[in-house]
Amino acid sequence: MFYNILKVLIFIHPICGFVFDGRFKHLVKEVTSLIQFGPPVHETKWLEQKLDHFDDNENRKWKMQYFKRNDFWKPNGPVILFIGGEAAASPGFLYGGMAYELAKETNGVIFASEHRYYGKSVPLKFNTVDDFKYLSARQSLADNAHLIRTIKLNPLYSKAKIVVIGGTYSGNLAAWMRLLYPELVDAAVASSAPVLAKKDFYEYLEKVNDVYEKYGTNDCLAKIKDKFKRYETLLESQDGIEQLKKEENICPDTDLSVPENKQTFFLTKTSEFMGEVQYGRVDDIKYRCEHFNETIESQLDVEPNLWREESQCHDYDFNRMVDYSYKNKSSFIACWTYQTCTEFGYFQSSTSSKQPFTNNIPVDYYVKLCMKAFGSEFNDTRVDNGINKVNDIYEGLHPNVTKVVFVNGDMDPWSTIGILEDVSHDAPAIIIPRASHCRDLVVSHNDEVELQEAVKHIKDLIKKWIGVGEFI
């Protein structure tokens, strides 16, 4: 229903959502499937946190959920912390993927934290927009710092090296933990981390264009351009709108002469191609091109169609979509959108001419979403100020860090605002050929050799930096 469009909007999105439905949410689903049947070997734990870490007069507290697994632990092993992102956390990260493998190979204890306001780690009840006030990367980083300090109070781990790992937005957090808390964090993996906050994220669709050009069939980009140009032409007249409504089963009362409704339609149609690139593999791109006019299940974890349930038609009404989606303000949709409106931007526009989807997704569309969802004060100025503050605090594409490895797949649209060149000898950038968003965090033996070799290299770097295994 309308939920689908908001998931598209925050498919920003980390992500990875900000058309970012949160790749983190996608990762959670993937790793949860790794948990084997039988007695669990992890503990679910809760840690009291301050509501506001930066106000000495704030006495309110809440409890953050986190998970622990220590059956690999041996003395002198490290602490591996998988940092939670823009979705409910999962103990699945303790059963498979890079964090699990590192813990197993280094005799480490492994933890997974949950980000405040997501999942069960809810500080406030979301009665008003003001209750979102304490939702920010800075507060989340302080939560994880408190968690690490608490872990190190245990004599078993008091001298252990600390490794943090994250993907998409939580990849940002992993790098920023090392930046802001170097005395607590010894090494970090920042996977597919869009560390540069940016309002007009036009580069996203440029990368989608490049991937279809490189890996699609010869005529695929031309077909996409023709399809979207035809949408644009039909929407220029009332007769064309009526024809489009019949072809796409759009609800009769959806007024496609309203700019925001038209833009919602274009964003929804574009997201089908965005999802294949962000989450897919090379073969997925080719398959979509070869079956261009067929309905293909999206890589996005969303309903395949935007139905209005009572009439079984597609509704692209912007106001109804936002009103419906934000009735439940505790949803990850509302929380992540709030963060994009107040911190990151990540507004995936179609303002570039180097993409095939026409120019019908303006930056202003997302700003209107912020204002409609949270109030008129969440305007351009509020968005710009938040972005500038984030880039000032965390230093954008040039953070002064060491012992952080920045990993990106060369197919990933988010890589265009990530770190693609070495920051320093001890803060390298790794680009994985034919890899999509956060692909390195959960790798199987069936994945391409380049991906498996990159993951081995990442783990070797971490082992070297913390002095374990063959690197002692």
* pLDDT higher than 90, residue 466: yes
Q: What average pLDDT does the segment 153-180 reach?
A: 97
Q: Please report the pLDDT score of residue 329 as a whole number.
A: 54
Instruction: Pick the closest to residue 53 from 172, 147, 126 (CA basis).
Output: 147
pLDDT band at 119 (very low <50, low <70, confident <90, very high): very high
CA atoms within 13 A on the CB side of 79: 27
Q: Which helix (H) or strand (E) holds 111?
A: strand 109-113
Q: Please report the pLDDT score of residue 157 as a whole number.
A: 97
Q: What average pLDDT does the segment 316-345 reach?
A: 84
279 or 188, higher pLDDT: 188
* pLDDT higher than 60, residue 243: yes
DSSP state of 36: P
**According to the CATH classification, is domain 1-467 in 3.40.50.1820?**
yes
Average pLDDT, whole number, for the chain?
89
Give tens-digit pLDDT for 374-428.
999 999 999 999 999 999 999 999 999 999 999 999 999 999 999 999 999 999 9
CA 201 to chain centre: 14
Q: Please report the pLDDT score of residue 332 as a whole number.
A: 74
Q: What average pLDDT does the segment 295-313 reach?
A: 54
pLDDT band at 326 (very low <50, low <70, confident <90, very high): low
Q: Please report the pLDDT score of residue 448 as a whole number.
A: 86
What are the domain boundaries of the chain? 1-467
* pLDDT higher than 70, residue 187: yes
Task: Rank 10-24, 213-227, 307-321, 329-343 by mean pLDDT and report only the highest.
Answer: 213-227
Q: Please report the pLDDT score of residue 308 as a whole number.
A: 60
- What are 397's two structure tokens? 């594409």
Cβ atoms within 10 Å of 459's Cβ, excluding its own = 18
Q: Please report the pLDDT score of residue 324 as a whole number.
A: 76
- What are 231's two structure tokens? 């949408």
pLDDT band at 163 (very low <50, low <70, confident <90, very high): very high
Instruction: Pick the closest to residue 278 from 154, 176, 192 (CA basis).
Output: 192
Q: What average pLDDT does the segment 53-77 reach?
A: 96
Q: What's the whole-model pTM score? A: 0.92
Q: What average pLDDT does the segment 177-202 reach?
A: 98
Report the amino acid identity of residue 189: V
